[in-house]
Amino acid sequence: MKIYEIKTPLTYDQIVKLNAGDKVNLSGIVYTARDAAHKKLVELIKANQTLPFDLQGQVIYYVGPSPAKPGQIIGSAGPTTSSRMDPYTPCLLAKGLKGMIGKGTRSQEVRQAMDKYKAVYFAAIGGAAALMAKCISKVEVIAYPELGPEAIHKLEVVNLPLIVINDLKGNDLYEMGQRLFEKE
């Protein structure tokens, strides 16, 4: 397992070298979106309307940040369960999304779409929301402010610590760990 320093937007050349289990320090622009925002994005795609941001090469972090305390730019920013976005993810991958950040496993349909559209899935550190927030240097709501913390935010991140769960080779770190455990 290696540690990679990667900047967004993601390119094929950046992500093809990643393997399940590798650590990544991600810097650049990352967008937030949870269930309600995903639904709205897919509705726009199906209606051939313009999205609030270009998905090409982008990363979506499944997070609904808590309100910022005085003197902070953002509150806690820990990952939410990724499977809740699975019904919408293949459509977004088809439009150029290259990375997703969350926690937990992905459906077979999403994994097939990641393979088809050459995208990766990262896990963020669960239970360390305050630590994750320290990696965010700038926050701007860019769409759906009526959704409150589930609005789409444009985040500028610096060395956001992630682990590759699903790579371009079809590997899944959760399955790899389970097989290793079963051998013992």
At residue 182, the pLDDT reads: 66
Residue 9 sits in which domain range? 3-183
Residue pLDDT tens, the chain, 184 long: 789 999 999 999 999 999 999 999 999 999 999 999 999 999 999 999 999 999 999 999 999 888 888 988 998 898 999 999 999 999 999 999 999 999 999 999 999 999 999 999 999 987 777 888 899 999 999 999 999 989 999 999 999 999 999 999 999 998 887 766 666 6
At residue 181, the pLDDT reads: 66
CATH code at 38? 3.20.130.10
Q: Does the reported pTM lie above 0.85?
A: yes
At residue 100, the pLDDT reads: 98
Phi then psi dihedrals of residue 29, to 5 deg: -95, 130
In terms of Cα–Cα distance, which of 124, 51, 53, 112 is closest to 82? 124
87 φ/ψ sector (left φ>0, alpha ψ -120 to 50, else beta) = alpha
Q: Look at the chain and report how many structural domains it folds into.
A: 1
- Grouping H, G, I as helix, E, B as strand and the rest as coil, residue 158 is strand
Active-site residue, from 20, 32, 33, 38: 38
The verdict on whether 38 is a catalytic residue reads yes
